[in-house]
Structure 1
Amino acid sequence: MSHPSRSIALFGTDEEVPPPRVLQAGKLSAELEAGNLRYVRWQGEEVLRAVSFIVRDKDWGTYNPEISDLKVSEGADSFTVTLRAVAGDAEQRLSYEARIEGTADGTLTFHGKGRTDSGFLTNRTGFVILHPIEGIAGAPVTIEHTGGEIDETTFPEIIDPVQPMMDLRALTHTTPGDLTVRTLMEGDTYEMEDQRNWTDASYKTYVRPLALPWPYRIEPGEEIDQTITVTVNGAGRENAVGGAVSLRAGAALGPVPPLGLGLRPEDARTAREAVASLRALNPAYLVLHHDPRAGHDRTSLEAMLEVARALGADPWLEAVIAATDDAGAAEEISALGKTAHDLGDPFGTVLVSPAPDLKCTLPGSVWPDAPEAAALYDATRRAFPGVRIGGGMFSYFTELNRKRPPVQHLDFVSFTTSPMVHAGDDRSVVETREAHPAIIKSVTQIAAGKPWAVGPSAIGIRDNPYGAAAKDNPDNIRQAMNWNDPRQRGLLGAAWALGYFVDFANGGAASVALGGCTGPFGAVSAASDFPRPWFEEHGGVYPVYHVLRGLARLQDAEMHALDLPASGALAGFAARQGAATEYWIANMGATQVEVVVAEAPALRVAILDVGCFAAAAASPDHMDGLSDHQGAFTLDAFAIARMRTGD
């Protein structure tokens, strides 16, 4: 069997991504990437996650700019970057120029000036500043408003559903390393949103208040002229550089929760054809999506139920209710309940959501007509007597946080997430794990003692609450709001899935559903109308399959934390079954990591990495092949390791 390129194995795509250029001026550094700045640091400590001049379309999609005339000059005490860029599509274009300057005294300026000849419809054009969350959440910040007023407040600890800070001209905060950072924003009025709502690892300060009309039009000849000035003061401290990561099973966290998969009618046929591989994966349940607006009916329910029965998985019904009034919704749910009864009452769990809640209602906007939540849930209980009723949001935690359900009418609360609502690059996807603890703390508060479930979640987005639809991806690239994201088929997707399950299982989720059976969120390769490089010729299972199979087999084992930081090099957990302990870990980055299990120098180990990618795709039981090992070992980029001791 031929082997895929390293890029296909890691990311599912051969798309070239130029490495960022590190700019340095004394102790001040920043990474230049696609004409914007990431990881602004002072003596190695991160002070801002990003400063970006962005151009978005009317559906909140961010254009990838075409950059030209890029010039970079650096000296020991300063750096300067100038560039020109064009952003847009066949219908509209906006050109801009930027100048970035950094000096060793801790001053960084980023000036952007844009204009359009055609007119330009946008939801946001201008600067966005990202503030990191680790060591910042709950910490003090000084606000300078546009009128000169000064307020002392804190960054939100529990995730704020709306804008925690508004009418902003400048923000001053102190880093965990005792650096004082002032961010001055000129050229427009700014406000902040808590991006942890979307699992972004940041607070975002952005141009143009959401209370103003959107989308808005930049007229021909109109000029956008904005400047961000960042000033850093303080001595700072050197960051420690770690060696091998030592693993030790920590506190018991309770049983490993059930693992589920999603299933949509569109993928029922290919899932049925892949039953042999999927049965070996052995998911505890399948979330069957049903939306009458998309033509889903009894026939499509039967097709999905056939897959669930073939897999021995508990079918959960995830039903969109199209009616927007209480009486119409009750009638629609009653009819759905009768259909389920005719099918033999297969559903022990039913989740419902009004169709309007699948779209975002931004803060300050008028909520669309929708059935009253309590009445909707009570009607579901009447139509499906004796089953568990779940509710919340079929879209993201953001919408759950902004429209909280009456939990007294529910048996459990549910929501999903995607790591690429705002950014589609690899590092942003991986960094979203840093926001999971805050999501867990917030959803536990919202659930008010009721169980909560998360998923089906994947890297790609199931739907786009913020625009017309998720992005098609015929060129198989990394981009925000992808429906068919290439990393679902790569090792990065497998590492992300393991980290995701670990985070939410550790946090108390009653169950976790990831991705799907086949299709854009699938674990098994199947014929499709989107690109699947290498798999189109060879088929097989994706790397994520092996992770999901391993997690499903550990259900109800005693789960133990490994105390790995969310921003660290590894994600993983330990599970104890009798005298044996099983570890699953993933390298969450593109560089190698040395690993040692402190409490068990003698192990049996199975590895999933680039070197065995092709063999693993052809062998669903690849991770059963444990080999004896002693001492430390090295994990390649986004590699997965399964380890056992004590058998």
Structure 2
Amino acid sequence: MEVTLEQGQVAARIDDGAVTRLAAHGVEVLRGLACILRDADWGTYAAEDVQDEVGATGFIRRCRYAGGAVEGEVRFTVTAGGLDAEARLICHAPLDVNRAGFVVLHPLSGVEGAPLTVRHPDGSTEETRFPQEIAPAQPVRDIAGLAHEVHGVPVEISFKGEVFEMEDQRNWTDASFKTYCRPLSLPRPFMLRPGEVIRQRVRVAVGARRAAGQTGAGAAAVPARFPAIALAAEPAWGPAPDAGTLAGSGARMLQARVGVGEWDDWLAAAAWAADAAGLGLAVELVGDPGDAPRLAAVLATSGVRPRRVSGIAPAWLASRQPEEPCPPGPGPADFARALRAAFPDATAATGLYTCFTELNRSRPDPSHGDVVSHGTAAIVHDASDAAVLQTAEALPAVFASSRRIAGDRPLALNLCAIGMRSNPYGAALRPNPQGQRLTMTDRDPRQGTDFAAAFAVAAYAAAAQAGAEEIALAAPSGPFAAQGPLADAIRALAAVAAGTPRALPVTAPDITGIASDRGAVLANTGEAPTTVAGRSLPPGQWLVLDEAFA
């Protein structure tokens, strides 16, 4: 149930028990405010036995979590001066959690790089700024209050009941900065014990708007070239792809990822299919540098030479904080040396196989490889349609940061999809047998739909703006399969990308895509429908314009 509470110039949109937008004087000052419980693998506990009460200026949700282990109540009250939020969590049975309490999301527009005053629990203050470049570690710690402006609107936020800190959520392609509890430096998971009561309060105060500069975005620059489209594949997703499927996909590369004991027949068949379909082959090894000679022997049986090779140890698939040591054992440089020796005619990639976060926190030396790579997932923190579409706002910053980390090396992006390929933050991905919108799962129900197609268009456009040479948008089969409208969108992108890049035919702020002398592929990543060339384009949808643009 979505409701909007208004008082004077303040309006709070509440959906599913959380504030999803707080605006003052028409300016978005908060992107989110919610009380959440995260499990030991960073999955979010769903609210159960929900009872909502809605008033003219107030909202109350009472619910349970984890089969009644925790009883929760959250209250939001809108005033002419801002928003008050109160939460109470009562534990009835032992429960291991990584987080329990309020999370505040700050928007990017008007906030990136802006001055910020931090109040600490001891009463001292600190003058700093929101990050401009994506911060690998927490940019602000030990928070009791924050004060800043958003497009001329003064905002003060106070926190009670726990010590908070901030992270740059653009690391995970979220379009926000997040202030949360409790500090990640404390042990986790931690146990909520029977009888324990958590009480927290967040107060947001806003002032009268002062004059501010323009808030609209200008027209996107015309990319110098378009990236090659790749498909990702691995044995866990099914049989090796066939040449016919690959040939008609619009892809130019197959990124085949294998682990120890998964090579022989599957990899040889995948290599042969890619070659028969005219696709280049990139082989990604999860194992040990000592496996490189065997990998070369397996590929020799197919008669196919890979264009690119890379490798990583399983320990490097897990996330770490920047101040923590690297995993013991072989690192990216060791794999690059071994793979270059085994495949002297191939380029060697370095980087991480997981999210941009891990690349940002464990930055490789670009000189150890010829190419730098990483992937992205849109549902690490929030699986709602709105949050996934908002990632289009963060992806340009993510890929631009990747480009800076890569230095003079090309950027070849692994799978960039809605779903999560692996979980660097827990023991496993979340199962999703009911096909729900869940965080941290590889089984997203929108895969293959027009919504996934619109996301792929946005990701491809952001990669083109960053000058990436390659991006994987789907897979031949399995949970990330290119099927239905998603397959259509990938073929359309490939067709338009074969032409000479040109400016987009529209400059609406939430319309993204690519254009060339062969047409345009566009997507609406905003919240409202719009009209493009006389055609309606709802949120989360895409379209193709066949005419050429001068």
TM-score by length of 2: 0.94
Aligned to 2:477: 518
Q: Distance in 1 between matches of 2:3 and 2:213?
A: 21
1:305–1:497: structure 2 CA closer, same or farther, 3 Å change rule?
Answer: same
Q: 1:304 aligns with which of 265, 270, 274?
A: 270
1:69–1:582: structure 2 CA closer, same or farther, 3 Å change rule?
Answer: closer
For the 8 Å contact 2:521–2:542, the answer to whether it is kept is yes
2:540 paired with 1:638: yes
Q: Distance in 1 between matches of 2:136 and 2:32?
A: 22
For the 8 Å contact 1:69–1:84, the answer to whether it is kept is yes
Q: Distance in 2 between matches of 1:372 and 1:318?
A: 14
Aligned to 1:290: 258
Q: Distance in 2 between matches of 1:95 and 1:363?
A: 35
Structure 1 SS opposite 2:119: strand
Alpha-carbon distance, 1:320 to partner: 0.8
Q: 1:269 aligns with which of 239, 242, 247?
A: 239
- Note the 1:87-98 alignment, pairs <5 A: 87-89=65-67, 93-98=69-74
Q: Distance in 2 between matches of 1:251 and 1:130?
A: 29
For the 8 Å contact 2:154–2:209, the answer to whether it is kept is no
2:67 paired with 1:80: no
Higher relative contact order (CA 8 A, sep 6+): 1
- Give the letter aligned to residue 86 of structure 1: R
Alpha-carbon distance, 1:41 to partner: 0.5
Aligned to 1:615: none
Q: 1:219 aligns with which of 175, 193, 199?
A: 193
Q: 1:256 aligns with which of 219, 222, 226?
A: 226
Structure 2 SS opposite 1:254: coil
Aligned to 1:161: 136
- Give the letter aligned to residue 70 of structure 1: D
Q: 1:111 aligns with which of 77, 86, 93?
A: 86
Aligned to 2:169: 195
For the 8 Å contact 2:228–2:471, the answer to whether it is kept is yes
Q: Distance in 1 between matches of 2:208 and 2:411?
A: 44
1:634–1:264: structure 2 CA closer, same or farther, 3 Å change rule?
Answer: same
2:285 paired with 1:348: no
Bigger-Rg structure (1/2): 1
For the 8 Å contact 2:448–2:487, the answer to whether it is kept is no
Alpha-carbon distance, 1:73 to partner: 1.4
- Note the 1:21-420 alignment, pairs <5 A: 21-74=3-56, 79-89=57-67, 93-104=69-80, 106-176=81-151, 178-235=152-209, 252-269=222-239, 271-272=241-242, 276-292=244-260, 295-321=261-287, 323=288, 329=289, 331-420=290-379
Aligned to 2:524: 587
- Note the 1:495-506 alignment, pairs <5 A: 495-506=454-465
- Note the 1:400-479 alignment, pairs <5 A: 400-479=359-438
For the 8 Å contact 1:282–1:312, the answer to whether it is kept is no
1:129–1:83: structure 2 CA closer, same or farther, 3 Å change rule?
Answer: same
Alpha-carbon distance, 1:395 to partner: 0.2
Q: Distance in 2 between matches of 1:194 and 1:352?
A: 28
Give unpaired runs (5+ residues) of structure 1: 1-17, 324-328, 525-541, 597-631
- Give the letter aligned to residue 62 of structure 1: T
- Give the letter aligned to residue 110 of structure 2: G
1:96–1:252: structure 2 CA closer, same or farther, 3 Å change rule?
Answer: closer
Alpha-carbon distance, 1:491 to partner: 0.9
For the 8 Å contact 1:584–1:643, the answer to whether it is kept is yes
Structure 1 SS opposite 2:380: coil
Q: Distance in 2 between matches of 1:151 and 1:239?
A: 26
- Give the letter aligned to residue 640 of structure 1: W
2:458 paired with 1:483: no
Aligned to 2:494: 552
More divergent stretch after superposition (283-292 vs 374-383):
374-383
Alpha-carbon distance, 1:646 to partner: 5.0
TM-score by length of 1: 0.81
1:232–1:646: structure 2 CA closer, same or farther, 3 Å change rule?
Answer: closer
More divergent stretch after superposition (47-56 vs 262-271):
262-271
Q: 1:573 aligns with which of 502, 506, 514?
A: 514
For the 8 Å contact 1:279–1:312, the answer to whether it is kept is yes
Alpha-carbon distance, 1:39 to partner: 0.6
- Give the letter aligned to residue 134 of structure 2: I
Q: Deviations over 1:425-468 (max 9, x none)?
A: 00000001111222123112211111111122211111111112
Alpha-carbon distance, 1:307 to partner: 3.0
% identity of equivalent residues: 33
Aligned to 2:485: 543
Alpha-carbon distance, 1:593 to partner: 1.5
For the 8 Å contact 1:164–1:192, the answer to whether it is kept is yes
Aligned to 1:602: none
Q: Deviations over 1:129-174 (max 9, x none)?
A: 0011122111100000111111111000110101000001001110
For the 8 Å contact 1:506–1:561, the answer to whether it is kept is no
Q: Distance in 2 between matches of 1:460 and 1:423?
A: 11
Alpha-carbon distance, 1:368 to partner: 2.7
For the 8 Å contact 1:564–1:572, the answer to whether it is kept is no
Q: Distance in 1 between matches of 2:49 and 2:204?
A: 24
Structure 1 SS opposite 2:458: helix
1:150–1:239: structure 2 CA closer, same or farther, 3 Å change rule?
Answer: closer
1:646–1:586: structure 2 CA closer, same or farther, 3 Å change rule?
Answer: closer
Q: Distance in 2 between matches of 1:563 and 1:161?
A: 36
Q: Distance in 2 between matches of 1:376 and 1:518?
A: 28
For the 8 Å contact 1:265–1:303, the answer to whether it is kept is no
For the 8 Å contact 1:505–1:512, the answer to whether it is kept is no
- Note the 1:604-623 alignment, pairs <5 A: none
Alpha-carbon distance, 1:644 to partner: 2.9
Structure 2 SS opposite 1:253: coil
Q: Distance in 1 between matches of 2:437 and 2:150?
A: 31
For the 8 Å contact 1:43–1:236, the answer to whether it is kept is no
Q: Distance in 1 between matches of 2:370 and 2:429?
A: 31
Q: What is the count of residue pairs matched by the alignment?
A: 549
- Give the letter aligned to residue 28 of structure 2: E
Alpha-carbon distance, 1:384 to partner: 1.2
Q: Distance in 1 between matches of 2:322 and 2:540?
A: 38
Q: Distance in 1 between matches of 2:282 and 2:317?
A: 19
1:195–1:309: structure 2 CA closer, same or farther, 3 Å change rule?
Answer: same
